[in-house]
Every structure is written in C-alpha cells, then in structure tokens.
Amino acid sequence: MTQRILVTGATGTVGRHVTALLAESGAEVRALARRPAALPPAVEGVPADLSAPGSLRAAVEGVEAVFLVWPFASAEGLETVLAAVAGHARRVVYLSSAAVRDHERQAEELIERSGMEWTFLRPHAFAANALRWAERIRAGQAVREPYGRAAMALVHERDIAAVAVRALTRDGHAGAVHELTGPHSLTQTEQAHVLGEVIGHSVRWEEASPDEARRGMLARGWPAAAVDGVLRAQAAMTAGPARVTTTVEEVTGRAARTFRSWVSEHADAFRPAARLSDLG
C-alpha cells in the first residue's frame, strides 16, 4: 500500500534527500517548507510555517508518517505542532543531533510524550558543513579557522536520509535512537587535504585563534551562545579521534559514504568558475 509521508525541512540539506529517496521508493510525498521549490516530479509541495501551526492543517491531513526537522534553537511551539501531527500520523522520525543540546533533548522529550511511534536520528557533523570553506577555496585562499586538530566523523547527508527513509517506511525502528557518523574520523586539516586532492590543487590550512574565529562569527550575526557552543565543541574534538558508529550500514545495508565521495560529488562548489578561455 502506498504510504503518505510528510517531510518537513524538505528543501534543506537532509530533507531534500529524504524527499527524493521517498519519491524514488514510490511513497506519496508531501514536502513542507515556507518556500517549497525544486522538488522531484510527483512530489506535492506544501508551503507552511512551522512557527505558525495554523498553516499546517492541509499539510498534516491524512499523513501516516512525518520526517521532522525543527529549524529553531528552542523547542517552544513544538508541542502544538506535534498535537496537529499526532491527529493524523502514527509515526515520527526526528532529526536531532549527536550533540543533543538542551533544546534538542527537550524536543525529544515532547516527541516521546506525543503518543506517536518515534525514532530519533542523532547525526554527527554533516559533510556539507565543508561548504562553509567553499568561497575561500574558490578564491585560492587558505582555510583560516581554529582547531585544525579537531576530529570529526563527517556523515554524508544522503546516508542520514537513507536511515530516515527506513525508519519512516519500515517497522522495527520504534523507540530507536540512531547515532549516525561517516566511516572515518578526520581532523579539519585532513578534511582540507582531502578537498585539495579531489579538486586538484592543494588547500592550505591557516590556524586562526579561537578569539579571531569568535569575532568573525559574531560579526556575521551569530548569537554569542551559539558561537561559544561551537568553539567549545571544536576544542573538545581535539582530544583524539572522533567516535565512529556502524549504524548507517546496520540500518541501510550499505556502507556509510566517505567524506572523499561527498567532496567528489560537490567538487564544482570548490573550484574557481571555469573561464571562457578554458572551455574552448
């Protein structure tokens, strides 16, 4: 029987893969975002705002399962959204985080009490975070950041999505907490090295002080608490290799994708735009 599934954050880094993989599997997909765009054929885009629960009515009507991205730094408002969802869906898969920050744990607790069957995905840092270096690398500049020795097992967003699709469409994941990583621990300087190897010119790492990084993030409008949280987390990651889990392979039956494979798929984002003279 065709399953009708609502994907929130459907145009985001993970949600767009969840949407595409569900559509490929033949599920009936409703894609929710404030501005749903560039969706695969046969996917129904539903414009709605998670901070305005009244706008969700049409989106939740008749759905059996929901992929939940909560794109806010607080769990405020989630309980009302869950009540609207639980009136229809029996299953929710929530994109949490391995860091399980306070608001993420609060969100998990609200979901546990929602009456729906739940699965939590707790991914480590996304491979797509490397895109924050793309502008400097395209311009031939060094990556200038603190904590080059910080180690992460970056996870490919499509692997997170593949796990989400299993949990949304198959039994056996109720009450499961899936901690998701890529297959290897890589320091930030090693990540820069892989980027350079794949795009064909070396990417230099310049170690910035945490203070310099803090000033930069504040100037870009980050809230001070978020800046301090990121820098604290990165400092902690210099202690040794990152934890690697085998959950992606256990759930999907396919080995977790490497950071190198993610870079190969996104290499153009890191290469200087081709000059007309290169094309002839």
Ligand X SMILES: NC(=O)c1ccc[n+]([C@@H]2O[C@H](COP(=O)([O-])OP(=O)(O)OC[C@H]3O[C@@H](n4cnc5c(N)ncnc54)[C@H](OP(=O)(O)O)[C@@H]3O)[C@@H](O)[C@H]2O)c1
Determine if 129 is a binding residue for ligand X (CB under 6 A): yes
Question: Exactly one of 24, 25, 26, 49 binds ligand X (CB under 6 A); which one?
Answer: 49
Q: Say if residues 30 and 44 touch (Cβ distance below 8 Å).
A: yes
CA distances from 78 to 106, 168, 225 (A): 10, 20, 21
Residues of span 52-71 touching ligand X by CB under 6 A: 69-71
Determine if 51 is a binding residue for ligand X (CB under 6 A): yes
Q: Say if residues 151 and 242 touch (Cβ distance below 8 Å).
A: yes
Determine if 237 is a binding residue for ligand X (CB under 6 A): no
Question: Exactly one of 33, 65, 92, 163 binds ligand X (CB under 6 A); which one?
Answer: 33
- How many C-beta atoms surround the C-beta of residue 16 within 10 A? 21
- How many C-beta atoms surround the C-beta of residue 247 within 10 A? 21
In the complex with ligand X, which residue's Cβ is closer, 128 or 204?
128
Determine if 191 is a binding residue for ligand X (CB under 6 A): no
In the complex with ligand X, which residue's Cβ is closer, 204 or 233?
233
Find, among 116, 123, 80, the residue nearest to 98 by Cα: 123
Q: How far is the CB of 154 from ligand X (least distance, A)?
A: 8
Classified as helix, coil or strand, 131 is helix
Name the residue with tokens 């608001």. 103
In the complex with ligand X, which residue's Cβ is closer, 34 or 201?
34
In the complex with ligand X, which residue's Cβ is closer, 17 or 173?
17
**With CB under 6 A as the contact rule, which of the stretches 7-15, 167-175, 198-206, 259-267 interacts with ligand X?**
7-15
Q: How many residues bind ligand X (CB under 6 A)?
A: 22
Say how many Å lie between the first and final Cα of the chain, rounded. Answer: 52
Classified as helix, coil or strand, 145 is strand
In the complex, the residues that contact ligand X under the rule CB under 6 A are: 9-15, 33-35, 49-51, 69-71, 95, 97, 123, 125-126, 129
